[in-house]
A and B are shown apart, each in its own frame.
Chain A
Amino acid sequence: MSKRPTKLKDISKNTERLHTILSGDLPPLPYPYEDWEDKPISEIPESKRKGKDISLDGVMNLSVPIPKTEGEKAEMVAKFLSGLRKLLTQENNWTFLEPFLLSLDNCVKCNTCSEACPIFEMSGRAEIYRPLFRSDILRRIIKKYLSPTGKLTAKFTGADIDLNWETVARLAQLSYRCTLCRRCAQACPMGVDNGLITREIRKLFSQELGIAPAELHKEGTVKQLSTGSSTGISPVALMDLFEFMEEDITDRTGMNIKIPFDKPNADILLLHNAGEFLSWPENIEAFAIIFEMAGINWTLSSELVGYDSVNYGLFYDDIQLARVTLKHAEIAKKLGVKKVVIGECGHAHKAIMAIGDRIWLDGVNIPRESCFATLEDLILNERIMIDPERNNFPVTLHDPCNITRSMGIIQPQRNIIKKICPQFREMTPHGVNNYCCGGGSGFAIMQSNNFPDWRYQVSGRKKFAQLLNAFTKEEIDSKTNKYVCAPCSNCKGQIRDLLTYYDAWDKVRLLYGGLVELIVNGMTDVREGFLEWEFH
């Protein structure tokens, strides 16, 4: 692979691969990982590829079939163009037409966004991952193929990209090399949102060509809408899980708590990411303990979709997004609850509260609140009592992008943590300027092929560096237990995977978990030791 800098036009070249990630190109990690050697990103053998294209960077989290005949190639291009036209029309894309047009029209190519992008930085500045690379290819295609004078003025305006099947296939993959964290948008002096443009590209592929990662679509929204949850948990299995969790609460705390579900007219319907049921039931248990001890009239739902707050439509498809969020709305309405509280899941916050704001219309416009606001009230007003000494170990807080940058929920979780953890350490930067965990936009749940390698080494690299830098050298050296509070299910999954890949529990004693676990660990009414210092 030559080291010639990649050019925009290369996207349409008939080459085996546009870019290869070499471990030596990746920026070094901080102490004590300076000498860490990443294993090369694994190659996907032809037998596993099964006719799918990986000509962007050899990484695969999306199945784009390589067209076999000239006819198939032409059809792929034609479908792409028809989807692109639809993205630019009101009937088909009223949902994002204005933000999309504005972001297309307003870029002055100053590249300020590049410096803000953790993927571009931590890939060793690979050109294909530059925020502008992807957006500008789309812009140039629109200019050349969808404007009346486009082909004539292509040379002058720079719109001289050839639209062939290679361009289409690589653009599809490129839209899944961005976590939609919107850090670039925050830095852009013009207000252009490369994250939004990426999402529009994903939408085009999903809504017109039927191309989307299996984890998001087939095993994601489709499964959730048909079986109740993308985790595959059915309402029947859910009952067993409730039972298991009630027993677990008793084992851990000696308390007998009944987890309420489908209680009509409760004050609060609590919506959890169903991933918690399987991977971190202690998070659900902690919520139950807190709400019961505070005397809240609350409930969970056992109805299809009602026990899973995830909405992967947010990452790739407006129709699926609306379908899932409307289900949530209807369930809340049916239960007659006063408000919906979203548990520790960042993208569910955004889908239900911010995006849902324009979808939960009329009769289903039921108030929605972040669990951090609910919990802050309980802690600061001492409706539950905490002994901070129980949490006397170094703690840092990860800020999920969807909650902070996209929704402005910054302080409540900090106010809680500052009150209950005497050794709180802020990361740099944090809050609204945070770095994504590297698992955003659905990446955290993508475990197939060699994508996890990329997720650990490239998209998650900045966060892992931040985690290390959050603690002092002494804290790192002393091997005292340290806690990364990641109050979001997807971020938690990504951080778990990062800590595993970098062997950080054994090497530097970094454990991760949610916020409510810390609260319960500090509650004076609960037996000591809710937090188990075991990596899982």
Chain B
Amino acid sequence: MIIFLTYFSLLIAFVAIVAKVFKYITTPEHLRWELYPVPHEKGRSKYGGSYFEELDWWSKPRRTDMFNELKEMAEEIFLLKGVYRNNKRVWKSSFPFHIGMYLSIGWLVLLLIGAVLEGNGIAVSSSAGVIGRVIYFATLIFGYSGLILTGIGAFGLFLWRISNSEQRIYNAPADYINLILFDIVILISLISHFTVDSGFSIIRGYVHSLLTFSTVKSIPGIMELEIVLISLLIMYIPLGRMSHFVAKYFLYHSVRWNDEPNERGSKIEKSLMKLLQSKVGWSAPHIQTEKPWIELVKETGDEQKTD
């Protein structure tokens, strides 16, 4: 039965993430609202400069530095540079939490690879061939370090949320419960693996069943509990704020670093011209409701009653 729960969780997680991406991807072209420093500004990003600093900037080729942008992204993703710079207290817990999450995702991927290998007759164990051995040990390293670091991080974040009086009024019960949930799942997982599946072979077998839609071999009760909890967590993360990575990607690329100038006849211009045809529903006295934007902004408004 638990296999259906796992399928269901994966489906929900997938749908939730796709829905989030869809939500942002389908929003219309907006007015520019970038915030400096913008890392792809070649030679200028260090001090927060832009092409607006140049004389006749529109007549010159734009000098961009995509490597620097990627570097900035990597530092943000793997080192949490922004948090480190501006809030070291949070970074101390947030950093292990995030690194733990990345390692845990790596662990799941390695379990997947291991399951595929085993399905193709390649053993995965400490005494197997080179590939099988590499995957086996990598799974061990990623699995245990991922779970432990995530657990430490989640606990640290929980302590910070609960102990910081200035912070407390902004926390919702859900914020505490998210973190507690993480720690419970991790604790059960660790107990389960320390006691019945220290080499991750049973869980690899479970992943194999998932992949091949085959019946799950009997697994110990504690592992059943672990799988149920991990499944619930996989489903829960994208539904809540913890999937902020999607929004963060768009915030940086579509808003904060988006300094693409609009040129005559450009794609941006075409979509803006279309948007200007939409009717305005605002109803303050200086706005003639239901007129298209394009007409409305060319007029100066009715007798103004606003003060």
Contact = CB atoms under 8 A, between A and B. Distances in A.
Interface of A: 5, 7-8, 63, 82-83, 86, 89-92, 94-99, 101-103, 105-112, 114-116, 125, 127, 132, 136, 155-159, 182, 185-193, 196, 206-212, 214, 217-218, 222, 225-226, 318-320, 322-323, 326, 339, 353-355, 357-359, 361-362, 365, 367, 369-370, 372-374, 376-377, 404-412, 431-433
B280 A408 contact: no
B268 A408 contact: no
B280 A90 contact: no
Which size class do B's interface residues fall under?
35 or more
Contact of B280 (A91, A136, A157, A206): A91
B218 interface: no
Given A110-B90, A373-B53, A408 B29 contact: no
Contact of A323 (B55, B83, B301): B301
A405 to B, nearest CB: 6
A108 B262 CA distance: 33
16 contacts: A91-B281, A94-B275, A98-B30, A98-B254, A99-B255, A106-B248, A157-B174, A186-B35, A191-B248, A210-B286, A320-B301, A322-B297, A369-B56, A369-B57, A406-B34, A408-B36
A217 B280 CA distance: 19
The 9 closest A-B pairs by CB, nearest first: A158-B172, A408-B50, A432-B48, A189-B82, A191-B251, A98-B27, A322-B297, A408-B36, A210-B306
Contacts, number: 277
Contacts of B112: none
Interface stretch (B162-170, B190-198, B206-214): B162-170
Contacts of B38: 408
Which label, helix, strand, loop or mixed, suits the secondary structure of the B interface?
loop
B255 A102 contact: yes
A190 B244 contact: yes
Given A127-B169, A326-B297, 5 more contacts: A98-B24, A102-B247, A193-B33, A222-B304, A373-B53
Contact of A326 (B52, B269, B275, B298): B298
Contact of B282 (A92, A115, A339): A92
A432 B34 CA distance: 13
A108 B244 contact: yes
Given A86-B281, A97-B30, A358-B29, A7 B268 contact: no
A410 B53 CA distance: 7
Interface of A is mostly: helix
A411 B286 CA distance: 40
B284 A210 contact: yes
A217 B251 contact: no
Contacts of B280: 91-92, 319
Interface in B227-279: 241, 244, 247-248, 250-252, 254-256, 259, 261-264, 268-269, 272-273, 275-276, 278-279
A533 to B, nearest CB: 31
Contact of A108 (B28, B241, B286, B304): B241
B64 to A, nearest CB: 13
B283 A185 contact: no
A408 B252 CA distance: 16
A266 B264 CA distance: 22
